[in-house]
Amino acid sequence: MTHTIVNPADGTVVTTVDAATVEETDVAIERAARAQRDWARAAPADRAKVLRRFADAVDGALEELAALEVANSGHPVGQARGEAGHVRNVLEYYAAAPERLSGRQIPVAGGMDVTFHEPLGVVGVITPWNFPMTIASWGFAPALAAGNAVVLKPAEWTPLTSLRLAELGLEAGLPEHLFQVIPGKGSVVGERFVTNETVRKIVFTGSTEVGRHIMAGCAAQVKRVTLELGGKSANIVFADADLEQAAATAPYGVFENAGQDCCARSRILVERSVYDRFMELLEPAVRGVKVGDPADDTTEMGPLVAREHLERVASFVPDDADVAFRGTAPGGPGFWFPPTVLTPARDARVAREEVFGPVVSVFPFDDEADAVRFANATEYGLSGSIWTRDLSRGIRVARAVESGNLSVNSHSSVRYATPFGGFKQSGLGRELGPDAPLAFTDTKNVFFAV
């Protein structure tokens, strides 16, 4: 069976990719297990050297990887270049880990006690289509650094950059079969990662629904699991904020990657006393978002990933929707949807569900308690922003919002050096940051009697 890869900007066929069967997945997992044994025994400095060379190989292929993501995912080329650079940075950062995975010596009676961080073995990474290469690297880089092998299943729609990354790893000196990318259906390859007992951990990024299913499957073998799931993040703007700055940046907090971002601030909460002024400022900012050809360096927003997804996003904006204003989008072929600002009721479907498209809802709030209450009135808890000039309020609200990643007076969510992940049904476990390699190890305690 093959998957047809379509360019979202114009609907043309880019290429086809072979989809793996269950039997092929099992073969890949067995090969990975064999490669892992030698990798775990290699000197930490040698593992570090190969990962640094992998980072260099990615650095040398930034333009190529960016062009692939433009064609496969419709990401604007400037952003795709940034994503490839992020993969390089993640690899460089975790290249330091093999030589820093220290255990502890713990004082005990009658001998000496030492802990070791042992690799798990084979790790299965399952990625979504929205940020194919960056999210892949959050799994494979720390897993390899900690001495594991990785089998990675990319989303059906967007396998091309992951496939190229595996080739670059091999060219850089990773042992054969240590890092394999296995395109295929989630219900075949992804499901097999969960049921095959040789895979000791699943790192899954995707929808909460599939995440729940995977976690239940992992429970059968007490398989380790990290879940990065959906979001419905709030961007809270207080009356004392720099309103110009808050309004100018709000579109980029939600429309980046055409809103196909788990961290999208798809609910903007504005203190009632400045609501009208904020909307006046927001309108030109939204109309100013440059939507169009992803291969153009000045483009800020591209198309949605696929026709099915476009139809789902459009279902959140029926003819009688409370549209405040919209930006523009090209017509013609391709899967285009304009940046859209709604003013729905707090209990509307669009206010509750993850849209994963360029649609944002704006709501007035009365006071700090009301803002926190509404920000938390969701099953999700991934990201969020708080705009205020009052530092004490910034700290108070950041502590009160039930979310894994908050930003005061900015919309930044992801840095490779800081932990990332969700509260509530946005996920389980953390990726990135200094502790990520530990999530790919089990602690072994050894007591030496003396």
User: Could you list the active site residues?
Assistant: 228
Work out whether 49 is an interface residue with ligand TAP (CB under 6 A).
Answer: no
List 156, 256, 293, 300, residue binding ligand TAP (CB under 6 A): 156
List 403, 427, 437, 439, residue binding ligand TAP (CB under 6 A): 427
Stretch that binds ligand TAP, among 91-99, 128-136, 272-280, 330-338 (CB under 6 A): 128-136
Work out whether 129 is an interface residue with ligand TAP (CB under 6 A).
Answer: yes
Give the residue with the Cβ less far from ligand TAP, 56 or 353.
353
Stretch that binds ligand TAP, among 39-47, 184-192, 287-295, 323-331 (CB under 6 A): 184-192
Dist CA 335 CA 254 (whole Å): 18
Give the residue with the Cβ less far from ligand TAP, 51 or 214.
214
Give the residue with the Cβ less far from ligand TAP, 35 or 182.
182
Give the residue with the Cβ less far from ligand TAP, 130 or 161.
130
List 354, 355, 361, 405, residue binding ligand TAP (CB under 6 A): 354
Parallel, antiparallel, or unpaired for β 384-387 and 359-365? unpaired
Work out whether 213 is an interface residue with ligand TAP (CB under 6 A).
Answer: yes
Q: What is the nearest approach in angstroms of ligand TAP to the Cβ of residue 186?
A: 2
HEC profile of the chain: CEEEEECCCCCCEEEEEECCCHHHHHHHHHHHHHHHHHHHHCCHHHHHHHHHHHHHHHHHCHHHHHHHHHHHHCCCHHHHHHHHHHHHHHHHHHHCHHHCCCCCEECCCCEEEEEEEEECCEEEEECCCCCHHHHHHHHHHHHHHCCCEEEEECCCCCCHHHHHHHHHHHHHCCCCCCEEECCCCHHHHHHHHHHCCCEEEEEEECCHHHHHHHHHHHHCCCCEEEEECCCCCEEEECCCCCHHHHHHHHHHHHCHHHHCCCCCCCEEEEEHHHHHHHHHHHHHHHHCCCECCCCCCCCCECCCCCHHHHHHHHCCCCCCCCEEEECCCCCCCCCCCCCEEECCCCCCHHHHCCCCCCEEEEEEECCHHHHHHHHCCCCCCCCEEEECCCHHHHHHHHHHCCCCCCEECCCCCCCCCCCECCCHHHEECCECCCCHHHHHEEEEEEEEEC
Work out whether 210 is an interface residue with ligand TAP (CB under 6 A).
Answer: yes
Work out whether 191 is an interface residue with ligand TAP (CB under 6 A).
Answer: yes
Work out whether 69 is an interface residue with ligand TAP (CB under 6 A).
Answer: no
Work out whether 139 is an interface residue with ligand TAP (CB under 6 A).
Answer: no
Work out whether 335 is an interface residue with ligand TAP (CB under 6 A).
Answer: no
List 69, 83, 228, 256, residue binding ligand TAP (CB under 6 A): 228
Give the residue with the Cβ less far from ligand TAP, 186 or 327.
186
Stretch that binds ligand TAP, among 45-53, 86-94, 182-190, 284-292 (CB under 6 A): 182-190
- Could you say which residues in the range 261-290 bind ligand TAP, by CB under 6 A? 262
Dist CA 83 CA 81 (whole Å): 5
Determine the size of the site formed for ligand TAP (CB under 6 A): 31
Work out whether 230 is an interface residue with ligand TAP (CB under 6 A).
Answer: yes
Work out whether 393 is an interface residue with ligand TAP (CB under 6 A).
Answer: no
Work out whether 403 is an interface residue with ligand TAP (CB under 6 A).
Answer: no
Give the residue with the Cβ less far from ligand TAP, 240 or 308.
308
Dist CA 437 CA 101 (whole Å): 8
Dist CA 436 CA 8 (whole Å): 33
Q: What is the nearest approach in angstroms of ligand TAP to the Cβ of residue 77?
A: 21
Q: What is the nearest approach in angstroms of ligand TAP to the Cβ of residue 249?
A: 21
Work out whether 207 is an interface residue with ligand TAP (CB under 6 A).
Answer: yes
Which residues of this chain interact with ligand TAP, rule CB under 6 A?
Answer: 126-130, 135, 153, 155-156, 185-187, 190-191, 205-207, 210, 213-214, 228-231, 262, 354, 356, 382, 422, 426-427
